[in-house]
């Protein structure tokens, strides 16, 4: 099946006349052919978004919200079907793809409610008979560029706030998961959104992404992906509003005296959920020396039981593609060369001769400065580092360039608050894993994880709106601020 771009309310073939394939990572079979779009397609999409902008901007926000409700209702109806498509195209296990669709439902629901808020504030003017307030205005044409690991939720996290704030959209999904994007676009189309408000263009980062970033009619870029591409976008975008949600090197700290079963469960979920391909994946575990051996024994015992295979039946699905397998394999070699000890896993696997599978892998006796403890691997590999005490653990936790999520298992209040207050991350979990965001809280990170924007919650509204200060003078004379006579 050949899928098309969605521009100005129509499904169109690319000007390039070229297509690319998206593969099922468990079977290596194609799931469809997609438009390998070029700059001309992107320009068309941006033009249509620009034309639609005044109509959408001028529609009252509670009216805009009605479209978001329809999208939310349709997502609920289609949840199971979408979750199964996602297993086929992205590979993660069904219970997680259901969660991905649920996150999309949640954000459309939350942002539809924002249609009746979108608050500004009022304040007192320093002058008499003058009223002061702020209002939120949309930014304009927004280009959304997304990765493949949450192919429904991440686009939804951008589309819902962008729409409710009154922006128009050109969306470019990852070329590893274009089918999920097309299915989401079909649902958005069903809501009856005015033509041109939402546009979808598939294709490479180089051809499609570059035009989005540099086109002068685009006012904002919202990007989720790797640090490398995020930095490149920031350099190229010039004076545009740029939101960056980048990688992570997240950590779970395990104190002595904790419920070790609970901590082990959290590490398995954090390190091997989504086959380690989450920006919030727990790729480091810093363990108190007193319980390290016991913790490792319990962890390995549990991990041995995990079954690799298709996301429809197994505990751990495949990696996204061959490149990801090579990347994980190379970090296993690096880990061994650096002197850490392989406790479990370490190998790429095929099932019936096919698929990009990789064993859940545990390294121990790792040192914080090792590459496997510093670089984002984005595979099912976790490194265990020993700490003498919780002060040292907190320092090790911060010893990376990234700052998305951290977690601590502890019964000690001071340790918990030290991790909250001194941990250099945008998200902290106490007594749970590094993953599990909820849509009404801000999502994002510090340091190499981003440039200060946050998605979801009210912060998601900040990303997609401009705040305007309004001075309303009803004195009937020229009044000058700062006491100028
Ligand atoms: P990626 O950076 O390779 O690609 C992301 C998107 O950027 C894709 O759509 C890609 O086509 C596009 N792109 C590539 N080159 C481009 C260019 N030159 N100009 C414009 N666009 C370009 O990342 P990925 O492999 O798809 O995703 C994995 C990364 O995403 C990991 O680093 C992960 O941590 C990160 N991620 C972050 C979050 C977060 O919220 N912080 C969430 C999920 C994933």
pLDDT digits (tens, 9 = 90+) for 270-319: 999 999 999 999 999 999 999 999 999 999 999 999 999 999 999 999 99
**8 vs 176, 180, 201, CA distance in Å?**
24, 20, 11
Tell which CATH classification among 1.10.357.10, 3.40.718.10, 3.40.309.10, 3.40.960.10 matches the domain 250-430: 3.40.309.10
Cα 387 from Cα 385, distance rounded (Å):
7
**Cα of 225 to ligand 1 centre, how many Å?**
2
Q: Which of 226, 276, 281 to mutate to test the pocket of ligand 1 (most atoms within 8 A of CB)?
A: 226
The whole-number average pLDDT for the span 314-336 is: 98
The whole-number average pLDDT for the span 40-55 is: 98
Name the nearest CA neighbour of 428 among 283, 183, 250: 250
What is the structure's pLDDT at 485?
A: 87
What is the structure's pLDDT at 426?
A: 98
Helical spans, DSSP H, in 127-177: 153-164
The radius of gyration of the chain from alpha carbons, rounded to an integer in Å, stands at 24
| Pocket of ligand 1 from Cβ distances under 6 Å | 145-150, 154, 172, 174-175, 205-206, 209-210, 213, 224-226, 229, 232-233, 245-248, 279, 376, 378, 404, 449
Atom of ligand 1 nearest to the CA of 443: 40
Reported pTM: 0.97
The whole-number average pLDDT for the span 240-250 is: 98
What is the structure's pLDDT at 195?
A: 98
The whole-number average pLDDT for the span 422-426 is: 97
Question: Using one digit for the tens of pLDDT, what is the confidence trace for 356-368?
Answer: 999 999 999 999 9
Cα 306 from Cα 285, distance rounded (Å):
19
Phi and psi at 35, nearest 5°, equal -65, 125
The whole-number average pLDDT for the span 66-93 is: 98
Instruction: List all residues 6 or more positions away from 239 whose beta carbon is below 8 Å from its beta carbon.
Output: none
The whole-number average pLDDT for the span 88-114 is: 98
Which residues are known to be catalytic? Answer: 245, 279
What is the structure's pLDDT at 438?
A: 97
Atom of ligand 1 nearest to the CA of 228: 2
Tell which CATH classification among 3.30.1300.10, 3.40.50.2300, 3.40.640.10, 3.40.605.10 matches the domain 5-246+450-470: 3.40.605.10
Atom of ligand 1 nearest to the CA of 247: 34
Cα 256 from Cα 157, distance rounded (Å):
38
What is the structure's pLDDT at 410?
A: 97
Question: Using one digit for the tens of pLDDT, what is the confidence trace for 217-236?
Answer: 999 999 999 999 999 999 99
Domain coordinates in residue numbering, the chain = 5-246+450-470, 250-430
Report which protein residue has its CA nearest ligand 1's atom 43. Answer: 279
pLDDT band at 472 (very low <50, low <70, confident <90, very high): very high
**Cα of 244 to ligand 1 centre, how many Å?**
10
């Amino acid at each position: 099946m050949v899928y098309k771009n969605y521009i100005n309310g129509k499904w169109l073939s690319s000007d390039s006349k070229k297509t690319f394939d998206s593969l099922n990572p468990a079977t290596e079979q194609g799931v469809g052919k997609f438009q390998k779009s070029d700059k001309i397609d992107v320009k068309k999409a941006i033009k249509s978004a620009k034309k639609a902008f005044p109509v959408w901007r001028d529609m009252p926000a509670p009216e805009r919200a009605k479209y978001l409700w329809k999208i939310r209702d349709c997502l609920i109806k289609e949840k199971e079907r979408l979750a199964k498509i996602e297993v086929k195209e992205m590979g993660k296990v069904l219970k997680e793809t259901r969660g991905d669709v649920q996150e999309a439902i949640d954000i459309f629901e939350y942002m539809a409610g924002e249609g009746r808020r979108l608050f500004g504030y009022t304040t007192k003017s320093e002058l008499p008979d003058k009223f002061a307030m702020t209002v939120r205005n949309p930014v304009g044409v927004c280009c959304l560029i997304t990765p493949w690991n949450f192919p429904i939720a991440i686009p939804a996290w951008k589309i819902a706030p962008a729409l409710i704030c009154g922006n128009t959209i050109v969306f470019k999904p990852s070329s590893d998961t274009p089918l999920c994007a097309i299915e989401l676009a079909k649902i958005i189309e069903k809501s009856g959104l005015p033509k041109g408000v939402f546009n979808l263009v598939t294709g490479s980062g180089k051809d499609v992404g570059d035009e989005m970033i540099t086109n002068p009619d685009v006012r904002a870029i919202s990007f989720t992906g790797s640090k490398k591409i995020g930095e490149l976008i920031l350099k190229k975008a010039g004076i545009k509003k740029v939101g960056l949600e980048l990688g992570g090197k997240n950590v779970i700290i395990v104190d002595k005296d904790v419920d070790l079963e609970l901590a082990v469960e959290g590490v398995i979920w954090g390190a091997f959920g989504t086959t380690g391909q989450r920006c919030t994946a727990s790729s480091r575990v810093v363990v108190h020396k007193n319980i390290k051996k016991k913790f490792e024994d319990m962890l390995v015992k549990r991990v041995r039981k995990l079954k690799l295979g298709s996301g429809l039946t197994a505990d751990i699905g495949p990696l996204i593609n061959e490149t990801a397998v090579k990347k994980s394999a190379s970090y296993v070699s690096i880990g061994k060369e650096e002197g850490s000890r392989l406790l479990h896993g370490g190998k790429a696997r095929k099932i019936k001769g096919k698929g990009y599978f990789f064993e859940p892998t545990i390294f121990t006796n790792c040192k914080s400065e090792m590459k496997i403890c510093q670089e984002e691997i984005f595979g099912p590999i976790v490194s265990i580092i020993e700490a003498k005490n919780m002060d040292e653990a907190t320092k090790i936790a911060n010893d990376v360039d990234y700052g998305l999520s951290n977690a601590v298992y502890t019964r000690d209040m001071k340790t918990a608050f030290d991790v909250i207050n001194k941990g250099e991350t945008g998200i902290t979990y106490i007594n749970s894993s590094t993953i599990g965001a909820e849509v009404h809280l801000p999502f994002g990170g510090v340091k190499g994880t981003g440039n200060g924007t946050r998605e979801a919650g009210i912060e998601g509204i900040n990303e997609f709106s401009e705040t305007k200060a309004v001075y309303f003078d009803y004195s009937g004379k020229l009044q000058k601020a700062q006491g100028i006579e």
